[in-house]
Each structure stands twice: as C-alpha cells, then as structure tokens.
Structure 1
Amino acid sequence: MKKGELDMIQLIATDMDGTLLDDEKRLPPQLPALLEELYRRDITFAVASGRSHMMLTNLFGELAEEIIFICDNGACVMYPHEAPMLHSLPKEVIRQTLDACHQLSTAVPVLCGFHHIYYPENNNAAMQREIQRYYRDPQVVPYDMLYAVDEPILKIALCDTNGPTREAYPAMRDALGDKYELLISGDCWMDIMCKGITKGAALRELQERMGITPAETMAFGDYDNDITMLQCAEFSYAMENASDRVKLQARHTAPANTKNGVVRVLCETLGIHPESL
C-alpha cells in the first residue's frame, strides 16, 4: 500500500476463528497494545464473528468495553455503552428447522439466544466438544424441549461433524428455501439467520453510522460467512489458510492465523514494529 492509502483507513473489521485467533483459540498477545495504538489514531476496531456475544466478551475481557461486536454473523450487533441491536428468528422457522434437523443423521441444532445457548442431549462426544469450543455454558436439554424455548433466538447453528455441505445444508435449503440466510461458517458448521442478516450487512450499517466508506475500511476473514464483509472493504484480506472461495473475493492475502497474520498486516500497515507491542 501507498502512504496515502494507509492514512485513509478508519475502520478495521476482523473475523475470529481461523483469522484473529490461533488454532488454540487464543488472542494475539500483542492485541491490547495494538488496540491502544488504533484508538490513539482514531481507528475503529470491530470484531465480526459467528460466535455469540457471551463467548466473545468473555474472551476479550476488559478489552471488550471499547470494541464493536458483530456477533452471530450479524444477528447481534453491540456498540460500546449502548443496548444491543438484535434480529431474532420467527418461531415458525425455528420449528421448521428443528423438524428438518431431527431427520438428519448427524447434524445437531444449537439455538443461540442473547442470554443462553441450547442444544439437545446426544451421545456424540466429538460433537459435544465441538459445540463447547464455540459456545459458553450451553444448556443441554431433551430435543422436544427445544421447541418450548421462550427466549428470542438470534441464530440457529447446525453442528455436523461430517461436514454440513453433504446433508445438512441441502436439507435446510429444501426446508426453508431462500427465505432465510443459510451460511456455511466452518468445517463442521452452518448457520441460519433472518434474510439479509450477514456480517456484510452489519458492517455496511456500521460504515453508514460512522460516515466511513469501503475505501477507508480494512477487513480480514477466512471462511464463506466472511465473504459479504470482505466485499464491503477495499482493503480486504483473505488469510493464507482461507478457502479458495474466500481468496477469490479478497484483494490481498494475509499470513495464516497460526502466523499472527492479522497483527502482522496491521503492524506493517501502521508502521509499527511488532517487537514494540
């Protein structure tokens, strides 16, 4: 990038898993000092993830107080010191999804509310570990009890350790058609949200609210649910470990998440020596 281009950046948005986090799901140790430098330069930092706000705010701890969180792929957006903006699914689509999912051989539905996470009892230890990697204190209930959950549900995540593209995604497409957002969000995951709810839509709303253009925006991602976000940023980065589909949508490539790629690109962009952080 040229010096003039670097001075233009006003907003940085990053995915979490496979992007900002390493493979042990840890934040970069340089992040607190880097965020201080971003704030000093009046650059806004936003996290855009399929994870719930409970998991994200717990992970960031005290740092969370000044971060903008686009959670549940955009179904929950949290600005510092403001009430969250929520987009909940109609009860009918929850029922349809539960009905369809009950017929699948491996996929398990995870109901994501703002306050609680719910998933059905099962004997698949690998699936239980996978769910608990991404969701904090989930409530395990009999399958029939999922229909009785009263809390508004922002997103339904389907965990399928055989991969959602084989069975879960086609089944949900048959059940729901194109009336809702169906996104492959990981090797074992797909997500269902209200139509028009994506990371990209949330990032565009953030840009409009702050008067920031795509030419002033930098974004990082690695999976299909990041594509709409990358399309909102002129400085779009696919991680080295990203899928080919994502790389085709990004203008640049960042080192892999295991190589601290986001921090390395930001330090290079801002003229910061990583050793000084």
Structure 2
Amino acid sequence: MMKWKIPIYQNPDQKLPVLLVVDDNADIRAFIKQTLGDSYTVYEAENGEVGLQVANKLIPNIILTDVIMPVMDGIELCGILKSKKETSHIPIVMLTAKSSEESEIEGLIRGADDYISKPFFIDSLRLKLTNIIKTREELRKRFNRDITLNPTDVTVTSADETFLQLAMDTVEKHMMNTDFSVEMLVKEMGISRSNLYLKFKELTGLSSSEFIRNIRLKRAVQLLEKSDMSVKEIMYMTGFNTASYFSKCFKKQFGVIPSEYLEQQSLQSK
C-alpha cells in the first residue's frame, strides 16, 4: 500500500471542523477546497485507499466521499470506517453521479449519513455538512444535560452505542475506586489513549478524564434524588475522596453544591 503525503488546504491551528474530501477528480477536490475552506480545515485523498489512510491518521470531523473511485470505492471506504470503533462516529456524506438508487441504498446500509448527487449546488452541500455538524453538537449537549444516560439517545451508529455503553459500564464497575484512571479505562476499552480522547470528544464533547467524572457526578445526583444516603456516603460511593473536590465538581456540573441540591429537591417535593 502506497503511503500518501497528506495535503492540507487550511491552517490546522484554526479551530474549524476537519473535512476530508475523497474523490478521484482533482477539479472537484479543488472546487470544494476553494468554496468550503473558510468553514473547514480541508484535507484530500484521491481514492478510498488513500482516504482510509488519512482518516485513520487524522480522525476528521466529517468525510465527503465519491462513490465510484479506483482502488477502493466510497462504499467500501464507508463500510470499513463505520465498522471500526476508532472511526465509526465520523459522519460520511456520499457524492455520486449514479442516477439509480442502488448505490445510495448500499451506502446507507454501510452506514453513510447522507447523499448528494452530482452535479450539485455548493449551497446544498454546505447545508448538508452544516446540519450534520449541528446535529452531532446537539447530541453532545444532550449527553451533558441529561442526568439519566441512554447511549441510544446520543449516538448515531450501533458501533458508537456499543462503545459508549461499554465505557459507561466500565466507569460504573469501578465507581467506588478513587484511583480509577484514564489509563485503566484505556486498557479496558482496548483503544489507544489518543483515539479514546478523540472518540469521547466527538460523542460527548468531553475529554477522557471529564467523561469519567461526568458519569460519577450523574450517579451521585441520582443517589441524592432516590436514596436516603448522606452527601458524604454518596461522595465515597461515587469515587470522590474529598468533600471540597466533590462539591466543586458537583457545582460546576449542576450549578449548586450537593447539600443545596438536596434542599431544592426537598422543596420541590412539598
């Protein structure tokens, strides 16, 4: 397999979503670069095989891929990326000149998020990409907002649902262990530290350490609402070993310290 030098069309230091364009037509890649470079950090690949290399290395925020390409087509690329836990969360939009619905159906079966036909209006493409990015952002906000967690509510693919459920179950399993760390989570999840971080960021908007703390705090608030345990007991039950740190984290997440939260719940129940 030939190694591909990754061309970049936008300063990666700019905090823009990373868009990977996979198309064997250099003119189309250049057109998309020129028109979307103000909104995305744009990378390119000339076929699915190169696109797979680039996607595995960069973990882009979104991929736009042609369907019909030499070496590896877009449908095979989509199937591979959506089946791997490191990349299954990446939204993929298929670009096709086919008039039949066959390729669209096959791509959707493989996990493609949307389709756009050639020739296309750039405003339509921009809107599709923007809507996908916004939808993912709303799912991340929902994860942080909702106290009761259900991976099916905040994930798009079954692979991501499985991943998030395993991550939550792993934190739950070690809930009382104050020494449970990101390194331990990495080991149990069977994914590299950097890929775990990127995966959590895309699915939840949180870093790996923030994810662990988030699950602990959500369990703490559930216990405050539904149990007769004291704040101190709940603190230890959820893996916090100092009252000051527990209160600080709790207030940052829910706006009040645990004792104030209990008071609010008591007033609401009257």
Which structure has more strand as a fraction of its residues? 1
Query: What is the TM-score when the length of structure 1 is the normalising length?
Result: 0.21
Larger Rg: 2
TM-score, length-normalised on structure 2? 0.22
Whose helix fraction is larger, Structure 1's or Structure 2's? 2
Q: Which has the higher contact order (CA 8 A, sep 6+)?
A: 1
